[in-house]
């Protein structure tokens, strides 16, 4: 049950991260952005869940390790 809660929390937090960083110039749709970064959040930043600021900070710190699609999302959102 705890694992399900973490997975659900991660999805919600990632959605909030991507939604809060959306601008008119944000070229990638929210669903695509979530798909691009969800695996990286679970792989590199699971301990940051559910804290939005910690997730963004973690993804920035791991920028060289995260997937190219997630790197593109982070760059497009100004992170």
Which contiguous run of DSSP H or E holds residue 58?
A: helix 52-61
Q: CA 72, CA 8: separation in Å to the nearest integer?
A: 24
Q: Return the pLDDT at 36.
A: 92
Contacts of 74-79 with C-beta under 8 Å, sequence gap 24+, read 74/37, 76/25, 76/26, 76/27, 76/28, 77/18, 77/21, 77/22, 77/23, 77/26, 77/33, 78/21, 78/23, 79/21
- Domain count along the chain: 1
Domain extent at residue 44: 2-76
Tell whether pTM > 0.75: no
Angle at 33 between CA 21 and CA 19, to 5 degrees: 30
pLDDT tens across 32-78, in order? 888 899 999 999 999 999 998 899 999 999 999 999 999 998 898 88
């Amino acid at each position: 049950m705890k694992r399900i809660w973490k997975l659900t929390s991660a999805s919600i937090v990632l959605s909030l991260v991507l939604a809060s960083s959306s601008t008119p110039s944000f070229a990638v749709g929210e669903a695509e952005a979530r798909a691009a970064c969800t695996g990286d959040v679970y792989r590199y930043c699971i301990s940051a869940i559910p804290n939005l600021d910690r997730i963004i900070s973690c993804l920035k710190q791991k920028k060289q390790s995260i997937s190219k699609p997630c790197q593109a999302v982070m760059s497009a959102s100004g992170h």
